[in-house]
Structure 1
């Protein structure tokens, strides 16, 4: 080896492990997190004011429940289709269109005079909610450094939980100070502010569209739907469906179960969901560090987190812990499930073929919407019969089955 070569080697420096500045990654993560928060806010655009609609429009619980079913059906079907659109045109324009749908939905809600108007709101909000996961994860996977993706997925889940927490306080709070129509005008102003900020920072949300192959090569590979032949995609779908069914049971029935089984007050019973969601947000924060430190073990981390949650739910179903003990155990369940959230998204990333991020995330996350649509109806039958312990045990069972799905993803990635 020549002296010149040795000298060059001695002065050559390895490239930094993470050349992208933290500020740049943090800006992308913050903007996508803000957008995701508006999505979860819109999940509860109608539900907190159901008692008002029942009173003002003479509706039944079945009537208002159907609004949420329509929301999640449109969101679920639209989410699978939106993934194709994101891969074709990029995530940024789709994201802007989605938030615009929320803005229009809020304006329509502020002028609604009948059940038909509320149904239009549910349809518009469901359409707006559809593209978020394929758009968000396409931006994060393309614009955030690989070493910081675990933290990005953690922040993404955290902001979603905060959106859920904000919506009831925002809508009910303004309604109590003015009226519900003013509350929806306030929501419209909120969406305008978010849309303006994202548009101002739009350069940070730009994604590259993967060049489409020739017609011949697409035909040989199976075309745009080739990813649907991969078993791992459907194992991911099954995981989201099952784990979301458990979350829907907690959101829909935990207060009623606490009140009926343990005789706690309405205030304490309502606190159950808040405690679960807040601890879930804390778990996601911790889970971001876990995912970043163990990127190759994401499926095992998810399986362990869901298994811990399922065991805690089974203990709650026994009634041995009493009212306060059950409240604490459910909160810890939220934390355990939250810890697995960032690793869950890392697990999906590893299972996604190159160039199909939008399509895979859209298809997989449509299982989330399906879980939200099916679970209240299925477990509501148990609740109607007064089988409260069985309802919690059933939620534990489906969460346990999600462990099997997570292991299935790991084995097939």
Structure 2
């Protein structure tokens, strides 16, 4: 689905164009993941100032991802109709507003407003990003584009706790952290607008469009919903992000309760998990071009992550080893990332990429939305080990979903060959 309009460019010009587009979309995607973590790093401050429980804090995550999930499915249709770039600019503006709302929050209601605005901003990113990448990036670099896209997301997740907690601790005022997050979003928005030509999806063309037969009857816009692969990809995202939600929101307090580690250490386990994931995605970007049965590499990588999280859940490890093991589990989930994105690309029918990515990635939002209050309630009731054990189980269910997608694609290839 990469652009056929780029074929006239010489290799050096095409490389510069590809790198520019990949870099800008990676930066924007990193910002969206940074804003996934707008509120969770400062949960302890909200408990101290507003008297909230972990279950209530889990509901803030639910608000964010319910709005993001519904919006993401809708955004795919908007992107296919009006283009990706203007939707991206609107999303970044919502992040600025979310930061203002968080910084001015006077209680739970204000935090809900911040979560809602951030959810609206987050909703269009996957249909926007993958539409631009698939239209503008040449086929030889597309696997690496997916890798950079995933790495930037993990780096956004990793940076957010360090950024927010660092400002809050340095100034003694958690509200100033949200002045910082607002400035981050505003600066990136200004950069994207300045370099807007490099992310203009109108300059690209779907590969299938050049081959379309004149007078062919277009497929109904909702036809892709009949494909089992779409819903299996949705379920894959649901399970894997349910696991991620548990780690992002509650790994720190769970490690404190299970192993007696100080918050000054456990607060950065999520950062370690995301950095490990980024390293895994670097490796995964090279693997994706060399592996035909992508579901097998996904299964191996996620089984590795599940094993490490299950080991953490046992409570048998020395405290520092437990923190390191939980952080290293991110390598497995990161390793699966580029293969996951390419698997979805293969499952998507021509011309419906925005809609497919919007629908499939809304499984990510649903997983975050439902898992956060469940794991928060388990932590409130004293079952800290369930944060890690439940994450491992969810990853195993994700492996099953990816396997079924791979079987469907293999069956489709056999039918085409026949």
TM-score, scaled relative to structure 1: 0.87
Compute the displacement of 1:68 (Å). Answer: 2.0
The aligned residue for residue 171 of structure 2 is 177
2:325 to 297, 321, 329: 329
The residue correspondences of 1:208-357 to structure 2 (distance < 5 A) are: 208=202, 217=217, 221=219, 223-294=220-291, 296-357=292-353
Q: How many corresponding residue pairs?
A: 395
Cα distance in 2 for residues equivalent to 1:215 and 1:117: 54
Compute the displacement of 1:89 (Å). Answer: 0.8
Cα distance in 1 for residues equivalent to 2:328 and 2:188: 33
1:142 and 2:138 equivalent? no
Residues 54, 379 of structure 2: 8 Å contact kept: no
Query: Any stretches of 5+ residues in structure 2 without a counterpart?
Result: 1-7, 410-418
1:188 and 2:177 equivalent? no
1:131 and 2:129 equivalent? no
Provide the secondary structure at the position in 2 that maps to 1:45: coil
Cα distance in 1 for residues equivalent to 2:281 and 2:177: 30
When Rg is computed on C-alpha atoms for both structures, the one with the higher figure is 1
The aligned residue for residue 8 of structure 1 is none
| CA shift digits 1:168-194 (9 cap, x unpaired) | 333333333274444323322222211
The residue correspondences of 1:80-95 to structure 2 (distance < 5 A) are: 80-95=73-88
The aligned residue for residue 153 of structure 1 is 146
1:87/1:333 CA distance change after superposition, 3 Å: same
Cα distance in 2 for residues equivalent to 1:213 and 1:55: 64
Compute the displacement of 1:251 (Å). Answer: 1.9
Provide the secondary structure at the position in 1 that maps to 2:288: helix
The aligned residue for residue 7 of structure 1 is none
Cα distance in 2 for residues equivalent to 1:214 and 1:146: 25
Provide the secondary structure at the position in 2 that maps to 1:21: helix
The aligned residue for residue 31 of structure 1 is 24
Provide the secondary structure at the position in 1 that maps to 2:351: coil
Cα distance in 2 for residues equivalent to 1:412 and 1:350: 11
The aligned residue for residue 383 of structure 1 is 379
> What root-mean-square deviation, in Å, do the aligned CA atoms of Structure 1 and Structure 2 show?
2.8
Cα distance in 2 for residues equivalent to 1:368 and 1:359: 15
The residue correspondences of 1:9-158 to structure 2 (distance < 5 A) are: 21-57=14-50, 59-158=52-151
Provide the secondary structure at the position in 2 that maps to 1:240: helix
1:18/1:167 CA distance change after superposition, 3 Å: same
Compute the displacement of 1:54 (Å). Answer: 4.1
TM-score, scaled relative to structure 2: 0.86
| CA shift digits 1:42-89 (9 cap, x unpaired) | 112222333434444454544443222111110011111101111111
Provide the secondary structure at the position in 2 that maps to 1:292: coil
| CA shift digits 1:125-157 (9 cap, x unpaired) | 110100001101111111111111121111111
